[in-house]
Amino acid sequence: MPKNKRLHFKDLTALRGLAFFPIFIYCMLHYLSYGQNGMLKEVNVYVEKVALNAVDLFFFLSAFLITSHALREYKYTQSFSLRKFFIRRVFRIAPVLIIALLFTFVFHPWMNNKLALHEINLPDVEPYLFLLPNYFSSPESYEFLYLIVVASIYLFIQFYFFWGLILKFLKKYLTTISIGMILLGLIVRILHFHYQSNYFLDTMAYGAPIGIGGYIAYAIRSEAKWVKYVKELSKNISTVIYVIGAFLVIGGYQLFSDQLISAFVPIFTGIFYGYIIIEQTFGKNSFFQLKNQKILTYLGRMSYGLIVYQSLVGFLVLIAFESLEGNMNSTYTVLLVFLSSFVGSVVAANISFKMFEKPMLRLRREFKKV
């Protein structure tokens, strides 16, 4: 296969880097304001809504990329290897997940005993071994936010397993299943809203971004007529779409947080994410290019590790600052905690990416047919 035919969407990497920031800010504000009431707590209520949109974006991107690569594999080989697909997913997920689990069940208890910290209640390890901690562990009982971040990795593992089966055995029904996923996600979120329960660790609640991501990938690969129309939209219309889309991403969940319409937010933002992919990759009148944002691209390459490690590093940084018995409400302390956590997270993610993830990614290529 000629190298120039390699499927790659450079703008997606920058989008991942952009999506990292609201998640990082939310986690740090959560650690700093845990068990307190005040300005940081109030600000974090808003930041949480933006972070939820970032999680929707990661599901959209995963569905879009996986579906795009699978359809490409079908085009050039007339088949799709489910075994190799699962192996590639294991190589991508395993390095960071293993480190996070060792931190959770080995390092954290050891550190807690060594430093004589207050008693901790960690979740049972069995749900993690059976790949279902998000359904068999209650996030309300988690004292440490990093545990929820680690559990959220399993949302994607479950999605990969399910979507791999769809791509292998039900590929010809992909558009119908994508629409069904959107409806499923909508129904699940409506049910969570009705019962006033938290949907964050419910994999089915992300049906809308998954379904839209899968459908957009199919539409681009099949060269749907409406995709060509989107490619040729004028710069003025594109600007309006970006303004409306940015408003939905930043304020959608916040604006409709107490209303049933909040269940529809991932549908609107998912459509916007789809527009970004088409406009950034194929648009003829782009007024900016995400792929040219080097910092975002750099962070996006290791976004998976960044999101996991920032929750671990932030937790350790907070323990370090609290041990110094400083004023945790001081503006300077808050800024220093943020800066220390950000730098530490980038360093940890960079080391992990170069030492563990990148070698696995190279090995993963051996299991690609095209």
pLDDT for 4 equals: 41
Q: Which pLDDT value is given to residue 326?
A: 67
For the chain, the first-to-last Cα distance in angstroms comes to 7
What gap in Å lies between CA 76 and CA 202, rounded to an integer? Answer: 35
For 16-30, 65-79, 119-133, 220-234, which range has the lowest pLDDT when averaged over its residues? 119-133
In angstroms, rounded to a whole number, what is the distance separating the alpha carbons of residues 354 and 194?
45
SS (H, E, C) the chain: CCHHHCCCCHHHHHHHHHHHHHHHHHHHHHHHHCCCCCHHHHHHHHHHHHHHHHHHHHHHHHHHHHHHHHHHHHHHHCCCCHHHHHHHHHHHHHHHHHHHHHHHHHHHHHHHHHCCCCCCCCCCCHHHHCCCHHHHCCHHHCCCHHHHHHHHHHHHHHHHHHHHHHHHHCHHHHHHHHHHHHHHHHHHHHHHHHCCCCCCCCHHHHHHHHHHHHHHHHHHHCCCHHHHHHHCCCHHHHHHHHHHHHHHHHHHHHHCCCCHHHHHHHHHHHHHHHHHHHHHHHCCCCCCCHHHCHHHHHHHHCHHHHHHHHHHHHHHHHHHHHHCCCCCCCHHHHHHHHHHHHHHHHHHHHHHHHHHHHHHHHHHHHHCCC
Looking at 72-81, 256-265, 326-335, which range is the least confident one?
326-335
Residue 140 — pLDDT band, cuts 50, 70, 90?
A: low
Q: Distance between alpha carbon 363 and the CA centroid of its chain, in Å?
A: 23
Q: What is the average per-residue pLDDT within 164-186?
A: 98
Cα 145 from chain centroid (whole Å):
16
pLDDT reported for residue 283: 83
Which pLDDT does position 159 carry in this prediction? 98
Predicted confidence (pLDDT) at residue 119 exceeds the cutoff of 90 = no
More confident residue, 283 or 294: 294
How many other C-beta atoms lie within 10 A of the C-beta of residue 259?
10
- Give the Cα separation of 208 and 185 in Å (integer): 5
Q: How many CB atoms lie within 10 A of CB 155?
A: 22
Question: What value does the mean pLDDT take over residues 255-259?
Answer: 88
Q: Structural domain boundaries of the chain? A: 3-367
Question: Residue 99 and residue 305: Cα distance in Å, rounded?
Answer: 10
Predicted confidence at residue 5, as pLDDT, reads 47
C-alpha dist (Å) from residue 362 to 118, 357, 366, 370: 43, 9, 7, 14
| Residues 54-106 pLDDT 10s | 999 999 999 999 999 999 999 999 999 999 999 999 999 999 999 999 999 99
**When comparing pLDDT for 270 and 136, which is higher?**
270
pLDDT bucket at 303, cuts 50 / 70 / 90? very high
When pLDDT is averaged across residues 31-42 and rounded to a whole number, the result is 84
pLDDT for residue 130: 94
Place of tokens 């671990």: 312
pLDDT recorded at residue 50: 96
Instruction: Give, in degrees to the nearest 5, the angle at Cα 199 between 248 and 189.
Output: 65
- How far apart, in whole angstroms, are the C-alpha atoms of residue 241 and residue 258? 26
Do residues 206 and 185 make contact, with C-beta atoms less than 8 angstroms apart? yes
Q: Quote the CA–CA distance of 100 and 306 in Å, as a whole number.
A: 12
Residue type, position 260, single letter: L
For residues 42-46, average pLDDT: 92
Task: Pick 326 or 209 by higher pLDDT.
Answer: 209
